[in-house]
Structures are given as C-alpha cells and as structure tokens.
Structure 1
Amino acid sequence: MKSKIYLYLFLFVSLICLYLMVSSNNMSKDYAKKSKSSIEKITKLENQVATLKDSVQQSSLKVLDMQYFSLENNDDALAYFEHLDLKDPTTYVTDKLLETNAQKGDNPLVPYEGMQNDFKINKIKVLNHKWILTDFSDGKYWGELLIKYELKDDLGVDFTLVDHLLYTRSN
C-alpha cells in the first residue's frame, strides 16, 4: 500500500511538473510575441519622431526664409525708426495704410477701378523701412501693389505707388 501511495504521489508530482513546464513554455512564447510587437511599435514610433523632427526643421527653415524680407527681422531698417517714439513701426505703418481703405470708393493707391465692388487693400507685408508689398481685391478680381513709403518725424506717412499688377482670369 505504501508503494502505491508513493507511485501515485510520484505520478501526481510528474503531472504537475509537466503542466508547469508546458505552461511556462506558452508564457515565454507569448512574452516573446509581445516583446517583438512592442519593439516593432517602438521602432515605428522612433521613425515617426524622426520624420516629425525633419518636418519641424524644414518648417522652421521655411519660416526663417519667409521672415527674411521683414521689417521686424531687419535691424538696419529698424535703426531708421530709432529717433521716433514707435514701439512697433510695422503695425503703425500697416494701420496708416489700412486707413486709405476708409475712403469711399476704390483705394486711392490702387490704379484700377473695381469691377465687382471697390478695390481695397487686404494683406500687407512691410518689407523694410522703405517698401511695402500689398494685396488688393474687389471680391472677385485681385492684384498686388509695390508701395514706397516715407515715415516723417511728425509720424505722418506718405505712400507712393511704385508698381502694380492685376491678375486676369482665364476660364
């Protein structure tokens, strides 16, 4: 009887060991799958981060390139305004130019008559202490102006049209 108990005990322990071995083997395979998929995800994320870094760097270069012709980033042109008590010359000149839109009819700086409505200046880019690039439109037709300006000591601004163009529609 004692030998049968030992035999059954040995068989029971063997079955438990077999179960633990198969179970641990399955767990290690599952862990290997999960770690492989995690590594793939991490690699994919690293590639996306690298792509985003390149994109951010390219965008930064484009912004710097676009700001090259800008009064705010031109120290030599800003030095022209040092004797005046202006915190932001770009905003001041832009506001003075937009005041020309307040007149009834077409803007006096636009050398065309509005076809749909009156031509008014929309967008303004102050290039330096002498030139402004603008966009004008009547709602359907549009064009661009190159304007020379002079900011006087009494803070008056004189605008002179240098060149202009009107885009033609081609249907």
Structure 2
Amino acid sequence: MKKSLFMYLFFFALLFIIFQYMNEKTIFESQEKSINSLTKKMEKARDSVDVLNNKLTESNYFSLLDNDNAMSYLEKYNLDPAEVKQLVTDKIYDQNGGENGNPIIEFKGDRGPMRINKIKFLNHRWIQADFSDGQRWGEVIIEYLFDEKNELDIYSVKSVLFPL
C-alpha cells in the first residue's frame, strides 16, 4: 500500500512538474514575443525621431539663432542675437496695431487691414513673414538693418499675395 501511495505521489508530482514547466514555457515565449514587438516599435520610434531631428536641423539652417555667420555678424557689432530677434519681432508686431494694418505690407485687405501673423528669421538681415486680412493670405520678405547709431530700420523687400 505504501509503495502504491508513493508511486501515485511520484506520478502526481511528475505531472505537476510537467504542467508547471509547460505553463512557464508558454509565459516565457509570450513575454519574449512582447519584448521583441516592443523592441521593434522602439527602433521605429528612434528612426522617426532621427528623421524628425534631421528635418528640424535642415529647416533651422535658415534662422538667426542657429546660423553661426549671422550670429558672428551681430556679435561683431556688440548686438546679442536673442535681443535682436526680440526687438525686431516686437517692432514688427507693434506695427500691426495701426488702423490701416501693418505698413510693411504693400497690399490692402478686402475684409480689414492686413496684419502679420507669423515671422521666421532667415539670418541677420532678412525675415520671412506671413500676413492676412482673415480672407486673403500672403507672404513678405522683410529686411532689417541697424544703422551707425544702432537704430533699427525695417522695410519690405518683396511681397506676394496668394489668389483666392
């Protein structure tokens, strides 16, 4: 009787061990698949981030604060590029408040005055700006200069108005 009891216990323990082994193996395989899937997603995300960083670097090639030559030019005249950017931006946006819109824009609006919405500094001399009256849109290239007295002069170089 004892022999058969030990035999049954042995078989039961053996079956329990086999069941545990198969169960753990299944869990391990599913976790490994999940890890591989997440690794592939992470690699894709890294590749996407790299592509976006390259695009950002390329688009910032024409900018005041990322252009070494423009920054050197301004520093040669003891001008801080960040302060210049803020000063020029404020002056352009302040001119939007006029009754006839921004005087830098050569076009008259159909629905109201033309106002500059967004600006992008291309370098130490030029700015690209977007303007509209709410219905019609356009872009303008603006030139800004500092004279001998470090006074700011801003004027339009060329404008384009997009067709309706």
Shorter-chain TM band: over 0.9
Structure 1 CA distance for aligned equivalents of residues 80 and 14 of structure 2: 82
Deviation at 1:161, TM superposition (A): 1.5
Structure 1 CA distance for aligned equivalents of residues 40 and 10 of structure 2: 45
Structure 1 CA distance for aligned equivalents of residues 36 and 16 of structure 2: 30
Partner of 1:3: none
Of residues 76, 90, 93, the one that matches 2:88 is 93
Deviation at 1:105, TM superposition (A): 1.6
Structure 2 CA distance for aligned equivalents of residues 23 and 67 of structure 1: 65
Q: Does 1:123 align with 2:154?
A: no
Structure 2 CA distance for aligned equivalents of residues 81 and 104 of structure 1: 33
Across the aligned residues of Structure 1 and Structure 2, the Cα RMSD in angstroms comes to 1.4
Q: Does 1:69 align with 2:87?
A: no
Structure 2 CA distance for aligned equivalents of residues 87 and 66 of structure 1: 19
Structure 1 length-normalised TM: 0.89
Partner of 2:2: 9
Partner of 1:4: none
Structure 2 CA distance for aligned equivalents of residues 36 and 28 of structure 1: 12
Q: Secondary structure at the match of 1:72?
A: coil
Task: Work out whether residues 84 and 153 of structure 1, in 8 Å CA contact, stay in contact via their aligned partners in 2.
Answer: no
Corresponding pairs, count: 162
Deviation at 1:80, TM superposition (A): 2.3
Deviation at 1:51, TM superposition (A): 0.6
Q: Name the % identity.
A: 29
Deviation at 1:60, TM superposition (A): 0.7
Q: What one-letter code is carried by the residue in structure 1 that aligns with 2:12?
A: Y
Q: Secondary structure at the match of 2:143?
A: strand
Structure 2 length-normalised TM: 0.92
Contiguous gaps of at least 5 residues in structure 2: none
Q: 1:87 to 1:61 in 2, by over 3 A?
A: closer
Q: Secondary structure at the match of 2:105?
A: coil
